[in-house]
């Protein structure tokens, strides 16, 4: 069995590759495989899409002209309904006075249900155009000299191969880089926490769905969800085969009834240099440490307790003052200050206070802090050209390979790879 193009991963990076390639070479055979039943990343989790550079575009690889050119193509395909942003002047002015900034980003929001529908529609469009999908099939290895992809079901011969396994595919990508002899560099990590509060305490979301504040010391707000919004936990593998949870958030589309809550992350970007070999290992260990403290669950703490320097307890989440329940109920009430490295905590707490000055109320005693929220970006391959080619005939794109940090940039990465394979760059 041989295909002109095989794509591992049906997230936005893989879909971007498949659409761009089919449009350019309709007669060629294309196969997309995914170990899951459908694209598993943000496309199917809240699906807010950002159409303003540099959101989602790692600056090591992207400059504005190229990102903006490709964002036009991404827009054409995804047909986003850009949300309006209103009444932001006062927040932007306050932020500026405090040494922070509010980025104005063109966004759309489909919600988890809307994103799943979009992913299904994209798959059907590709199938109608003649591309083949194989879901529930896991890529295991590549035999480069034979141009063969080995999966848990079979061996597939390819002319060109794109590996786009996303964040959940780090281990696979790392193994592949080692076996193919692709050199790589360690990436940054984002470490922080997620806040959950009443929408009334963070009313900016009525005017701007996912407000992007940047604070000093490389702290930023990230992934805001409101309407029918929930905090969730995701399981990740640690190097020793153990596991840890990172919290995250999502919301459903605006069709259902709102639960009146908002959640968003505050993340600090950390770049490790020598002598530490792997920032990712460091972050994973923090995740495991939090698991240890939380008895196998993430930690949660009310801001009121945190301010007083005391841990939260189960009772904390029942008292009258605390007038809403945690949407991620399985977390363990505890003391985040014991679990988070102090330099990171200081930077984040300072940012929280700045945010509370910009939007008074967000640090209401009832506001819940969840820890940890960890974003890993995988080791970055050293590419042999600007189209993310890692070995001749093999491209590595998307969040897994560090060429993106969001849906639209992942899709743009896929188009860029195809432009390279067609000699159009």
Stated as kind and residue range, the H or E segment containing 251 is: strand 243-252
Q: Is 165 a binder of ligand FAD (CB under 6 A)?
A: yes
Q: Which of residues 201-230 bind ligand FAD (CB under 6 A)?
A: 223
User: What is the C-alpha separation between 377 and 398, in angstroms, rounded?
Assistant: 10
Q: Taking the CA of residue 326 as centre, how many other CA atoms within 13 Å lie in the half-sphere pointing to its CB?
A: 29
Binding pattern for the stretch 404-423 against ligand FAD, x by CB under 6 A and - elsewhere? xxxx--x-------------
Q: Is 312 a binder of ligand FAD (CB under 6 A)?
A: no
Q: Is 52 a binder of ligand FAD (CB under 6 A)?
A: no
Q: Is 231 a binder of ligand FAD (CB under 6 A)?
A: no
**Residue (109 or 198) nearer to ligand FAD, CB:** 109
Could you tell me whether strands 155-163 and 148-151 are parallel, antiparallel, or unpaired per DSSP bridges? Answer: antiparallel
Q: How far is the CB of 45 from ligand FAD (least distance, A)?
A: 3
Q: Is 172 a binder of ligand FAD (CB under 6 A)?
A: yes
Q: Which of residues 241-270 bind ligand FAD (CB under 6 A)?
A: 248, 250
Say if CB 149 and CB 6 are below 8 A apart.
Answer: yes
Q: What is the dihedral of CA 393, 398, 403, 407, to 10 degrees?
A: 140
Q: How far is the CB of 107 from ligand FAD (least distance, A)?
A: 9
**Residue (297 or 357) nearer to ligand FAD, CB:** 297
Say if CB 299 and CB 370 are below 8 A apart.
Answer: yes
**Residue (312 or 404) nearer to ligand FAD, CB:** 404
Interacting residue with ligand FAD among 48, 268, 364, 380 (CB under 6 A): 48
Q: Is 46 exposed, middle or buried (0-12, 13-18, 19+ CB in 10 A)?
A: buried
Helix (H, G, I), strand (E, B) or coil at 425: coil
Q: Is 198 a binder of ligand FAD (CB under 6 A)?
A: no
The contacts of residue 164 (CB under 8 Å, 6+ apart) are 7, 8, 9, 11, 13, 14, 17, 396, 397, 398, 400, 401, 410, 414
User: What is the C-alpha separation between 100 and 321, in angstroms, rounded?
Assistant: 31
Cis before 150 (ω within 30): no
DSSP state of 42: G
Site size for ligand FAD (CB under 6 A): 43
Q: Is 67 a binder of ligand FAD (CB under 6 A)?
A: no
The contacts of residue 359 (CB under 8 Å, 6+ apart) are 91, 202, 203, 204
User: What is the C-alpha separation between 71 and 303, in angstroms, rounded?
Assistant: 39
> What token pair was written down for 416?
């860029």
Binding pattern for the stretch 89-118 against ligand FAD, x by CB under 6 A and - elsewhere? ------------------------------
Residue 129: C-alpha distances to residues 23, 122, 124, 410 (Å): 9, 11, 9, 22
Interacting residue with ligand FAD among 3, 17, 20, 40 (CB under 6 A): 40
Q: Is 175 exposed, middle or buried (0-12, 13-18, 19+ CB in 10 A)?
A: middle
Interacting residue with ligand FAD among 354, 399, 402, 418 (CB under 6 A): 399
User: What is the C-alpha separation between 112 and 125, in angstroms, rounded?
Assistant: 20
Interacting residue with ligand FAD among 111, 169, 287, 334 (CB under 6 A): 169
Q: How far is the CB of 132 from ligand FAD (least distance, A)?
A: 14
Stretch that binds ligand FAD, among 33-41, 90-98, 284-292, 383-391 (CB under 6 A): 33-41
**Residue (173 or 291) nearer to ligand FAD, CB:** 173
Interacting residue with ligand FAD among 139, 303, 336, 345 (CB under 6 A): 139
Q: Is 138 a binder of ligand FAD (CB under 6 A)?
A: yes
Interacting residue with ligand FAD among 3, 5, 31, 34 (CB under 6 A): 34
**Residue (264 or 322) nearer to ligand FAD, CB:** 264
Q: Is 123 a binder of ligand FAD (CB under 6 A)?
A: no
Closest CA to 412 of 160, 44, 64, 155: 64
- Residues binding ligand FAD (CB under 6 A): 8-14, 33-36, 39-43, 45-50, 56, 138-139, 164-169, 172, 223, 248, 250, 398-400, 404-407, 410
């Amino acid at each position: 069995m041989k295909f002109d193009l095989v794509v591992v991963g049906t997230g936005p990076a893989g879909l971007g590759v498949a659409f761009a390639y089919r449009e350019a070479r309709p007669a060629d055979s294309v196969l997309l495989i995914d170990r899951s039943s459908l694209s598993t990343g943000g496309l199917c989790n809240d699906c807010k899409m950002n159409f303003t550079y540099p959101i989602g575009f790692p600056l090591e690889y992207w400059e504005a002209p190229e990102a903006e050119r490709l964002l036009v193509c991404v827009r054409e395909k995804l047909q986003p309904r850009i949300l309006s942003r209103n009444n932001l002047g006062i927040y932007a002015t306050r932020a500026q006075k405090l040494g922070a900034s509010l980025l104005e980003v063109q966004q759309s929001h489909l919600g988890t249900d809307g994103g799943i529908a979009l992913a299904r529609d994209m798959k059907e469009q590709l199938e109608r155009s003649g591309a083949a999908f194989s879901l529930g099939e896991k890529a295991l290895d590549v035999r480069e000299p034979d141009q063969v992809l080995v999966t848990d079901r079979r061996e597939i011969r390819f002319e060109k191969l794109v590996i786009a396994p996303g964040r959940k595919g780090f281990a696979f990508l790392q193994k592949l880089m080692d076996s193919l002899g692709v050199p790589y560099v360690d990436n940054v990590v984002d470490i922080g926490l997620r806040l959950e509060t009443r929408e009334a305490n963070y009313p900016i979301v009525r005017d701007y769905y996912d407000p992007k504040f940047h604070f000093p010391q490389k702290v930023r707000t990230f992934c805001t969800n409101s309407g029918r919004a929930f905090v969730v936990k995701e399981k990740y593998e640690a190097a020793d085969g153990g596991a840890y949870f990172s919290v995250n958030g999502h919301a459903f589309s605006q069709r259902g009834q709102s639960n009146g809550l908002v959640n968003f992350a505050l993340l600090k970007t950390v770049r490790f240099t020598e002598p530490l070999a792997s920032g990712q290992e460091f972050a994973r260990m923090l995740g495991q440490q939090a698991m240890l403290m939380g008895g196998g669950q993430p930690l949660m703490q009310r801001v009121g307790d945190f301010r007083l320097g005391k841990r939260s307890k189960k009772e904390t989440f029942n008292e009258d003052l605390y007038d809403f329940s945690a949407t991620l109920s399985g977390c363990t009430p505890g003391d985040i200050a014991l679990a988070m490295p102090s330099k990171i905590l200081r930077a984040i707490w300072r940012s929280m206070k700045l945010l509370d000055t910009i939007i008074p109320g967000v640090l209401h005693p009832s506001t819940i802090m969840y820890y940890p929220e960890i974003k890993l970006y995988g080791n970055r391959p050293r590419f042999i050209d600007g189209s993310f080619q890692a070995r001749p005939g093999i491209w590595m794109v998307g969040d897994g390979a560090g060429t993106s940090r969001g849906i639209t940039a992942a899709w743009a990465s896929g188009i860029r790879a195809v432009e390279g394979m067609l000699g159009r760059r």
